[in-house]
Amino acid sequence: MLKDKKAFTLAEVMVTMAVFGVLVALVLPAIANIRPNKSKALFKKAYYTAERMVFELVNDEDFYPTTGDEIGFSNTVVASYLGQSYGGDDETDAKKKFCSLFARKVNTISDDINCDAAHSVPTANATYTEPSFITTDGISWYLPITKFDKTGEDISETIYVDINNTKEPNCKYDEQNPSKCNNPDIFEIKVEPDGKMRITGTKEKEYLQANNSVK
């Protein structure tokens, strides 16, 4: 004689599915928060690279000696590095000094360095702009062409980084219209003549404070 086979009732199956759905809804956000955000990680990497290079340059007396009223990067006196000279009395050479020395100190994918005004600022309109140089981690760098001689309340210059090179969205977070670029790949890093660095953008602050630290 066959025994009766036991099976779940439809009500029991529905209750089980409902419980499973609740668990998924609770767990997925937690997993999303734990999973590293690539954009955050790459911006932090770019920031720490800039921090290291700025510190090394501004504290190197061979590059930026302290003379008179000229402090740090505002000293455009000629400096030699790896057989080449940077800076000097010529206006163009003086403005290219910071960009050129920075580029020579990092690992770039080629010797094609563009330290000029046309490559110092990304257009941030979904059209990729050729940078000053690209580092081996695929980050595009746009360095200021300047003598660091601004006056007034804000004397900082801006380094721009595009963390994923030519890939879209090629945009910067818009403080006035956040939905326009909610997941930016272009960020700003402020640098002052004495080497002090700071960030002012909402996304820059959010990403730099994120837990997924990369150095």
Which pLDDT tens digit goes with each residue over 148-187? 999 999 999 999 999 999 999 999 999 899 888 989 999 9
Separation CA 206–CA 95 (nearest Å): 32
Global pTM value: 0.81
Residue 211 or residue 52, greater confidence: 52
* Cα–Cα distance, 202 to 181 (Å, whole number): 12
Identify residue 96 by its one-letter amino acid code: K
Q: What is the C-alpha to C-alpha distance for residues 104 and 107, in angstroms, rounded to an integer?
A: 8
Cα dist from 171 to 31, 39, 42, 164, whole Å: 27, 12, 15, 11
Measured in whole angstroms, how far is the alpha carbon of residue 110 from the centre of its chain?
Answer: 20
Residue 81 token pair: 């590095």
Query: Residue 21: is its pLDDT beyond 70?
Result: no
Sign of CA dihedral 73, 75, 78, 79: negative
Q: Are 187 and 203 in contact (CB under 8 A)?
A: yes
pLDDT of residue 70: 81
Q: Do residues 144 and 101 make contact, with C-beta atoms less than 8 angstroms apart?
A: no
Alpha helices in 87-180 (DSSP H): 91-105
Q: Widest CA span of the chain, in angstroms? A: 107
Q: Rounded to whole angstroms, how far apart are CA atoms 213 and 171?
A: 23
Task: Supply the angle between the helices 38-58 and 91-105 in degrees, to the nearest 10.
Answer: 120
Name which of 176, 178, 175, 160 is nearest 123 in CA terms.
Answer: 160
The reported pLDDT for the residue numbered 10 is 67
Mean pLDDT for all residues in the chain = 87
SS3 label, residue 48:
helix
Strand partners, 67: 70
Between strands 186-191 and 157-162, the pairing is antiparallel
pLDDT number for residue 47 = 98
Predicted pLDDT at 11: 67
